[in-house]
Amino acid sequence: MKIWFDADNGPHVLILRPLAEELQRRGHEIRFTARDRASTCELLDLYGLPYHRIGSEYGKGLLSKATGTLGRAAALVRTMRHWQADASFGHGSRALPLASRLLGVPSVTMYDYEWVNPTVFSLACHSILLPAAITDARIREVGLPLHKSFRYPGFKEELYLASSPLDDQAIQAVSQDLGLAPDRVHVLLRPPATHAHYHNPEAETILAKLLQAIARRPDVQLIYLRRSEDQMSMVQDLAPDRVIIPQRVYDGPSLIAAMDLVISGGGTMTREAAILGVPSYSFFRGRVGQVDEALAAAGKLIMLRTPDEVAQRLTLKPRDSAVVAPDNSMLVSFISDHLLEAARSTADGGA
């Protein structure tokens, strides 16, 4: 069968890669399309995955995002119409199910933050994969169709963290390339997604407190992983010798494993750190999803909800625990099987 993968954002590359490898191992043909934003194409290049580059940043505002999504969907149709895919797969890509619907291709999407607008996925997807932490009650509350919603065990990050090469050599290579000093506390900080529709400006107030706390500590090296160039102004007042701005894309798990703690305004990185056993802090100020609630309840993720909680809850110290890769070997097979079933059901005349 022919399976079409669409990487709409940088973290999606890590999710899609083990699934593509598994399907290729089973003898199926794979093709990638990619949106040029947030290091998506750079990560595909890093892992040697060929792709068609289609679309880029949409800009701020609902109108820009809607226009960008529709325009990218049309471009996907033009690019993929002659390949005749049997199924398509993405992680929250909205343009993909729209394009797939126009091409008559069953599209499976996967996402783990339930408070996104579900309209496109509900109408255009064959099925929607969600982590087991999201309950039936929450699925009904957010307006997803239960008959299209399927739960997978564990967390999406386990798809690739379980097979990541987290050896000392890979971690040391990242440390040396970044210039991490062995006598410093290494803090990886990712600012909030200020262009996202769910962004809450309260996160930037908390970020200011975080940067003040870090600035007071001469024993801390800050690895600042900006999302866009305009976020560089947030660290302009910090001492240059204590701020490291990565100049290239790194393997995410190895980067996290080289840190003493990870702080982010939300997103995949905090969950990766939590699952690997690296102290993880989130100052995401949108509506909290059930995945983050589950990790926080397990003591693996600390939520910073107000500026005052930075002083109360943030601990800047060397990590004293080892990184532990998760064991969820069945997850890749589970999702691959579901994707192939979707392709077969349509080929057999199913919905």
CA atoms within 13 A on the CB side of 309: 13
Predicted pLDDT of residue 231 = 67
Predicted pLDDT of residue 199 = 62
Joined tokens for residue 335: 């999702």
Count of other CB atoms within 10 angstroms of residue 160 = 23
Only one residue has tokens 């999702």, namely 335
Predicted pLDDT of residue 81 = 96
Q: How far are the Cα atoms of 37, 182, 228, 262 from residue 243, in angstroms, in the given order? A: 24, 15, 16, 15
Predicted pLDDT of residue 284 = 93
- Determine contact, residues 121/144, Cβ cutoff 8 Å: yes
Predicted pLDDT of residue 351 = 44
Rounded Cα distance, 81 and 99, in Å: 9
Q: How far are the Cα atoms of 25, 64, 100, 202, 266 from residue 305, in angstroms, in the given order? A: 44, 30, 39, 9, 12
Torsion sign across C-alpha atoms 193, 197, 198, 204: positive
Q: How far are the Cα atoms of 285, 320, 349 from residue 271, in angstroms, in the given order? A: 16, 19, 39
Domains of the chain: 2-161+328-347 (3.40.50.2000), 168-313 (3.40.50.2000)
Predicted pLDDT of residue 82 = 96
Rounded Cα distance, 149 and 294, in Å: 20
pLDDT tens digits in sequence order for the chain, 351 residues long: 999 999 999 889 999 999 999 999 999 999 999 999 988 999 999 999 999 999 999 887 889 999 999 999 999 999 999 999 999 999 999 999 999 999 999 999 999 999 999 999 999 999 999 999 999 999 999 999 999 999 999 999 998 888 766 778 888 999 999 999 999 999 999 998 765 655 677 888 999 899 989 888 999 999 998 877 766 767 777 767 788 989 888 888 899 999 999 999 987 899 999 999 999 999 999 899 999 999 999 999 999 999 999 999 999 999 998 888 887 778 999 999 999 999 998 766 554
Predicted pLDDT of residue 348 = 65
